[in-house]
């Protein structure tokens, strides 16, 4: 309970916490200074009335019951509110009441008045019972500021009741003091008696009072009529009162409904949050994991590149300083060593960071079945949506199949061409193999390249960090690309075609150009991949530089499915013996040693198995004019199956191929 304010402090309503006056409020308890304003009292009465059970013996109508339940709900809700919320609620109720009454006043027309319950009660008792208690007396005196403190009033009261001229009486053991209120003149003693005798409704009495007052005013002159009738608050006629009550009931009901709806919404929200939590975690984990891998990848790429350039510069310096003094040469090795150490510490810091992130990843979201499932689903979804997918990456079964194929002994088989025949490659999808001599110039050139040595270690690191068994890396050094391109053209001229056929790729979309750059391929020993088709479904030249590679495949036409997805599912379901059976019956197997080379045909499912040493290859997509329809048909099929996103690289490529064909024909 709030402490009583000191008399100098403004009087505040205990319900709505808004300032009030003595005359516009009543005490809420024994302490006369703890007040509730008339507005809040009306709200309280309304709530109490609405929530009251029917009197014993009386039946409750359905409507009354509904009203009572609603009121109880609002009361219950009110109990749970904080003091601030409570005050706010009372304020809003008061405001609403005032607005309602304001709007009713505007439509007020009849002279029938009613008396607001509390005022009537208070005023009538004031008039009839003119003996007041100390509390009542003190309230008035304090309001009138006759005394500034309750103690002062008490002293004055004691003095007054001891005065023999003061009329007092005893009631319930308390001394009451007679007080002239100036209201006894409104009627005769009969009027007064009537108040006591009348057992009819208060409304009737009030109306009578109003009549008397109006008559008195009328006699006093017309001007007096304009003035408000004292004591009585003529505010609404009976019908309007009922209307207001009804609208209050409606409001009560809607308030209760709102409370119930809010509760329900809160519960639903809680439930949703609970459900969401375990579901969203795997996605967040995946996002974090991806971000971590990407960060580590790009950092290690930079590190490796720096190391490569350091090695290159070191070699160069060594040559330059060959004829210089020993001091200078010593300085060189010292400096190089310093940089080397710095790079090593960077590497170390990076690994530390990676471990820290990994730990965070695992501690925040422990791997569980739901998580694993989610990751698998996501991978599958990603594999399905990405065009030109390499099935070996995404599909679990294909990875298993690849692992099984590693252990198989596959002997060369099937129809293989040894010289280029266009229709065989494109229509029959026959592989094309070349004798070793064909690659001698290329392998000699590459072995002499410092770049090749550097990229080998770089790609090996990349594969380790990405946890893959194979990788292809575009050659980024322009002079090297040019040099190798020239050798490739000279050595495999019939595959590349004439100059005008190769010119067809000018204007290829910028982000697709990488596909046509010469690449170095690397495969770890004793690993295998199964691929659904070549990149962009274009014939691809593969030259083995080091190691031994077994490549086998079969035409996609062997598969029963009609769509890409159906065929992919079919391949995914294959076991190693199935593949062996198919290649022996309808496919082919080629064994490539170092310096051997071949062209992979389009529309072909193929696998490649590394022997017991790492395999290094050169790979080149053949973007020759007469091969491009393979890519176009493939991309068109992807598009019609809805797997080609508008604006994606592949989509742009298809647009380019369409345009190119149109202008060429």
Q: How far is the CB of 378 from Zn ion (least distance, A)?
A: 59
Q: How far is the CB of 90 from Zn ion (least distance, A)?
A: 6
37 touches Zn ion (CB under 5 A): yes
Give the count of alpha carbons within 13 A of 651, CB side only: 11
- Closer CB to Zn ion, residue 20 or residue 430? 20
Q: How far apart are CA 105 and CA 417, in angstroms?
A: 104
Of 16-24, 58-66, 614-622, 627-635, the window that binds Zn ion (rule: CB under 5 A) is: 16-24
DSSP state of 3: P
Q: What is the CA radius of gyration of the chain?
A: 49
Q: How far is the CB of 130 from Zn ion (least distance, A)?
A: 29
518 touches Zn ion (CB under 5 A): no
Q: How far is the CB of 266 from Zn ion (least distance, A)?
A: 29
Among 11, 16, 406, 425, binds Zn ion (CB under 5 A): 16
H or E element that contains 474 = strand 470-474
Tokens describing residue 413: 């088989």
Burial of residue 396 (number of CB atoms within 10 Å: 0-12, 13-18, 19+): exposed
605 touches Zn ion (CB under 5 A): no
Contact 536, 631 (CB under 8 A): yes
Q: How far is the CB of 11 from Zn ion (least distance, A)?
A: 11
Q: How far is the CB of 30 from Zn ion (least distance, A)?
A: 19
Phi-psi region of 603 (alpha: psi -120 to 50; beta: other; left: phi over 0): left
Contact 532, 390 (CB under 8 A): yes
Residue found by looking up tokens 């009609």 in the block: 562
Q: Give the three-class secondary structure for 619.
A: strand
Q: How far is the CB of 233 from Zn ion (least distance, A)?
A: 18
Of 33-41, 65-73, 111-119, 399-407, the window that binds Zn ion (rule: CB under 5 A) is: 33-41
- Closer CB to Zn ion, residue 87 or residue 571? 87
Phi-psi region of 497 (alpha: psi -120 to 50; beta: other; left: phi over 0): left
Residue found by looking up tokens 């490649």 in the block: 608
454 touches Zn ion (CB under 5 A): no
13 touches Zn ion (CB under 5 A): yes
CA 234, 235, 236, 242 dihedral sign is: negative
Among 11, 33, 34, 40, binds Zn ion (CB under 5 A): 40
11 touches Zn ion (CB under 5 A): no
DSSP state of 513: G
Beta pairing partners, 616: 522, 546
177 touches Zn ion (CB under 5 A): no
Q: How far is the CB of 215 from Zn ion (least distance, A)?
A: 36
CA 327, 328, 334, 338 dihedral sign is: positive
Q: How far is the CB of 246 from Zn ion (least distance, A)?
A: 24
- Closer CB to Zn ion, residue 15 or residue 533? 15
Of 37-45, 222-230, 377-385, 632-640, the window that binds Zn ion (rule: CB under 5 A) is: 37-45
Measured CA to CA in angstroms, residue 528 lies from 88, 305, 436, 467, 550 at distances of: 73, 28, 23, 14, 9
Of 31-39, 95-103, 382-390, 577-585, the window that binds Zn ion (rule: CB under 5 A) is: 31-39
Q: How many residues bind Zn ion (CB under 5 A)?
A: 5
Instruction: Spell out the residues 6+ positions from residue 437 whose beta carbon is closer than 8 angstroms to its own.
Output: none
Q: How far is the CB of 1 from Zn ion (least distance, A)?
A: 16
Q: Which residues in 565-603 are b (16+ Cβ under 10 Å) and which e?
A: eebbebbbebebeebbebbbeebbbbbbebbbbbbbbbb
Tokens describing residue 469: 């068994």
- Closer CB to Zn ion, residue 37 or residue 234? 37
Of 35-43, 140-148, 354-362, 413-421, the window that binds Zn ion (rule: CB under 5 A) is: 35-43
Compute how many other C-beta atoms are within 10 angstroms of the C-beta atom of residue 121. 12
- Closer CB to Zn ion, residue 17 or residue 455? 17
Tokens describing residue 155: 């002293």
- Closer CB to Zn ion, residue 19 or residue 278? 19
610 touches Zn ion (CB under 5 A): no
35 touches Zn ion (CB under 5 A): no
Q: How far is the CB of 210 from Zn ion (least distance, A)?
A: 28
Of 10-18, 159-167, 237-245, 579-587, the window that binds Zn ion (rule: CB under 5 A) is: 10-18
Compute how many other C-beta atoms are within 10 angstroms of the C-beta atom of residue 315. 11
Q: How far is the CB of 15 from Zn ion (least distance, A)?
A: 4
- Closer CB to Zn ion, residue 90 or residue 452? 90
Q: Which of 661, 615, 614, 612 has the alpha carbon at shortest distance from 636?
A: 661
Q: How far apart are CA 481 and CA 519, in angstroms?
A: 9
Beta pairing partners, 621: 540
Of 32-40, 98-106, 304-312, 536-544, the window that binds Zn ion (rule: CB under 5 A) is: 32-40
- Closer CB to Zn ion, residue 15 or residue 483? 15
568 touches Zn ion (CB under 5 A): no
592 touches Zn ion (CB under 5 A): no
Backbone angles phi, psi at 27, to 5 degrees: -70, 145
Q: How far is the CB of 39 from Zn ion (least distance, A)?
A: 5
12 touches Zn ion (CB under 5 A): no
- Closer CB to Zn ion, residue 48 or residue 110? 48
Instruction: Spell out the residues 6+ positions from residue 37 whose beta carbon is closer than 8 angstroms to its own.
Output: 13, 15, 16, 18, 20, 24, 25, 94
Of 39-47, 271-279, 497-505, 518-526, the window that binds Zn ion (rule: CB under 5 A) is: 39-47
Contacts of Zn ion in 455-494 (CB under 5 A): none
Contacts of Zn ion in 379-418 (CB under 5 A): none
15 touches Zn ion (CB under 5 A): yes
Chain contacts with Zn ion (rule: CB under 5 A) = 13, 15-16, 37, 40
């Amino acid at each position: 309970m709030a402490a009583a304010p000191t008399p100098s402090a403004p009087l505040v309503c205990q319900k709505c916490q808004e300032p009030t006056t003595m005359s516009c409020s009543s005490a809420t308890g024994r302490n006369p200074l703890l007040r509730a304003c008339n507005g809040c009292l009306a709200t309280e009465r309304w709530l109490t009335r609405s929530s009251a059970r029917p009197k014993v013996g009386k039946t409750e109508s359905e409507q009354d019951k509904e009203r009572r339940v609603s009121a109880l709900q609002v009361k219950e809700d009110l109990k749970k509110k904080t003091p601030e919320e409570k005050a706010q609620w009372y304020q809003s109720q008061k405001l609403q009441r005032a607005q309602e009454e304001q709007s009713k006043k505007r439509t007020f027309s009849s002279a029938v008045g009613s008396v607001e319950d509390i005022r009537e009660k208070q005023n009538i008792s004031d008039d009839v019972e003119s003996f007041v208690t100390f509390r009542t007396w003190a309230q008035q005196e304090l309001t009138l500021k006759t005394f500034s403190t309750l103690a002062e009033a008490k002293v004055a009261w004691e003095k007054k009741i001891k005065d023999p001229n003061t009329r007092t009486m005893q009631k319930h053991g308390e001394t009451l003091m007679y007080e002239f209120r100036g209201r006894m003149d409104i009627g005769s003693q009969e009027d007064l008696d009537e108040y006591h005798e009348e057992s009819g409704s208060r409304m009737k009495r009030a109306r009578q009072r109003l009549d008397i007052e109006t008559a008195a005013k009328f006699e006093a002159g017309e001007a007096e009529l304009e003035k408000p009738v004292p004591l009585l608050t003529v505010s609404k006629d009976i019908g309007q009162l009922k209307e207001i009550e009804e609208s209050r009931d409606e409001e009560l009901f809607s308030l209760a409904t709102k409370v119930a709806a809010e509760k329900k919404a809160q519960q639903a929200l809680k439930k949703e949050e609970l459900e969401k939590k375990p579901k969203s975690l795997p996605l967040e984990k995946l996002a974090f994991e991806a971000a971590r891998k990407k960060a580590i990848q790009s950092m290690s790429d930079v590190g490796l590149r720096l190391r490569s350039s350091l090695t290159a510069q070191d070699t160069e310096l060594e040559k330059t300083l060959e004829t210089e003094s020993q001091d200078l040469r010593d300085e060189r090795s010292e400096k190089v060593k310093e940089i080397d150490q710095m790079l090593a510490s960077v590497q170390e810091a990076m690994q530390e960071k990676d471990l820290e992130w990994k730990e965070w990843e695992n501690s925040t979201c422990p791997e569980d079945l739901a998580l694993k499932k989610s990751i698998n689903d996501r991978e599958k979804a990603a594999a399905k949506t990405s065009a030109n997918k390499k099935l070996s990456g995404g599909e679990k079964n294909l990875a298993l199949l690849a692992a099984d194929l590693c252990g198989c002994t596959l002997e060369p088989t099937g129809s293989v061409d040894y010289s280029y025949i266009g229709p065989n490659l494109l229509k029959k999808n026959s592989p094309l193999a070349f004798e070793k001599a064909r690659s001698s110039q290329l392998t000699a050139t590459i072995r002499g390249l410092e770049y090749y040595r550097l990229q080998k270690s770089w790609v090996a690191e990349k594969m380790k960090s990405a946890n893959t068994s194979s990788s292809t890396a575009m050659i980024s050094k322009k002079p090297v690309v040019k040099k190798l391109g020239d050798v490739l053209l000279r050595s495999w001229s019939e595959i590349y075609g004439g100059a005008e056929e190769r010119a067809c790729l000018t204007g290829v979309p910028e982000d697709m150009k990488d596909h046509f750059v010469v690449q170095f391929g690397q495969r770890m020993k004793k690993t295998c991949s199964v691929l659904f088709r070549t990149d962009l479904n274009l014939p691809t030249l593969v030259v083995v530089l080091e190691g031994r590679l077994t490549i086998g495949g079969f035409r996609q036409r062997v598969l029963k499915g009609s769509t890409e997805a159906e065929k992919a599912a079919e391949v995914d379901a294959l076991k190693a013996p199935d593949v062996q059976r198919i290649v022996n019956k309808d496919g082919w197997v080629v064994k490539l040693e170092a310096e051997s080379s071949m062209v992979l045909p389009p529309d072909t499912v193929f696998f490649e198995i590394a022997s017991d040493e790492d395999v290094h290859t050169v790979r080149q997509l053949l973007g020759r004019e007469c091969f491009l329809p393979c890519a176009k048909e493939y991309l068109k099929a992807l598009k019609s199956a809805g797997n080609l996103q508008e604006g994606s690289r592949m989509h742009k490529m298809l647009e380019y191929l369409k345009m190119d064909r149109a202008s060429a024909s």
